[in-house]
Homo-oligomer: A and B are copies of this chain.
Amino acid sequence: MTPASRLAEIAPFHVMRILADAQALEAAGRDVIHLEVGEPDFPTPQPIVDAGIAALANHQTFYTGACGLPQLRAAIAGFYASRFGVSVDLRRIIVTPGASGALQLILALLVDRDDEVLLTDPGYPCNRHLVRLFEGKAVNVPVGPASRYQLLAGDLAAHWSDRTVAALVASPANPTGTVLEQAEIAALAAACRERGGALIVDEIYQGLVYGRPHETALAVADDVFIVNSFSKFFQMTGWRLGWLVAPEWAVAGLEKLAQNLFLAPPTPAQHAALAAFDAPTLAILEARRRELEARRDYLARRLTALGFKLNAPAEGAFYLWVDAARLTADAAAFAAGLLAAEAVAVTPGLDFGHAPTMLRFAYSQPIERLGEACDRLARFCKSALPQDKHAL
């Protein structure tokens, strides 16, 4: 027996090898500093945990409707209203098992076999694999520092074909941490609309922005598909809960797909998430956002001093996407060497696209640990690199 042909097109993540090696080091007693994982170190805020515990104690463990608890959909709609001043009918909001579930639904709805979806390179790799899953074709559009690694309306002309059905952007983006301006999103939405296609905006890092306002694409384009999550800003990663916002015409189809793919999102997580938008929770999250901002500033300064280069402003998420070209021509080998020599784990750029000299650092550790990581990194650069390189 042979697996379906799509399997050959799903490359394993390089970071999985890093993770396995890191675990082996830890099993051998080494103190590994994890800057490779896309997960904040903060536990879920206590009011959310408490709401989850209360739900379990009250036996709220039965199926909900496929689109989620009506009161949670209403709470999400309320958050769009209070934080962004945007009015969204709660019937357009579908609660999903993680943002992965949200994107699955949207792609299953939009993508016929051989249809194309435009994505950025670099970008989050699961997205292109999900397009392939439904027998669509992910078209990776190379983006660089000039557009802050973002796809812009001007890129569409060169890449949109008669099989293209959608473009997918992320703001803030993974792995780059860059943000799309509202005017850029409006232009993208208009350009997709003109071509009869959809714009999908991944906002799973929404709220994790530094020195900028909180924003949503819905404020400038009501007909886009939004992917969002309770994982990152609300720090509920393991609960597996996300949501989508869809245009009215798409809702019935998405609901049908949700029934068939998932039955329903996890019930305890939904009850817990009802506490996500309460003032005490939001106060905790704002304090953590400020902490992440301080970490970003610290790590960017240290990495820059070591010879890494930030090519675009990292204004969101919790990643620095740095160019290691001054230090190595092979960032994946550099990452493997750094882990072996100094027990610091980072993600090779190759996981996100054609980026052989890039690395992604997640600032998902306290500043003290980031400092220790940078000290180790400095030692590694000094000892391991050829003289002509580290002299630069």
Binds B, one of A49-57, A169-177, A376-384: A49-57
Query: Is A3 part of the contact surface with B, judged by Cβ < 8 Å?
Result: yes
Within A197-246, which residues are at the interface with B (CB < 8 Å)?
A: 197-198, 236-240
Binds B, one of A59-67, A84-92, A306-314, A327-335: A59-67
- Copies of this protein in the assembly total 2
Query: Is A366 part of the contact surface with B, judged by Cβ < 8 Å?
Result: no
CB distance from A127 to the nearest CB of B (A): 9
Contact A10 B256 (CB under 8 A): yes
Residue from B57, B134, B268 within 8 A of A239 (CB atoms)? B268
Contact A109 B7 (CB under 8 A): yes
Contact B135 A113 (CB under 8 A): yes
Q: What would be 24 A-B contacts, judged by CB atoms less than 8 Å apart?
A: A1-B110, A3-B253, A10-B256, A12-B256, A16-B259, A37-B63, A49-B59, A49-B61, A53-B56, A61-B237, A97-B266, A98-B263, A101-B262, A133-B134, A134-B134, A135-B135, A237-B267, A238-B266, A238-B268, A239-B266, A239-B267, A240-B267, A266-B269, A268-B268
A residues adjacent to B (C-beta < 8 A): 1, 3-7, 10, 12-13, 16, 37, 39, 43-44, 49, 52-53, 56-57, 59-64, 97-98, 100-101, 104, 108-113, 115, 125-126, 129-130, 133-135, 165, 196-198, 236-240, 249-250, 253, 256-257, 259-269
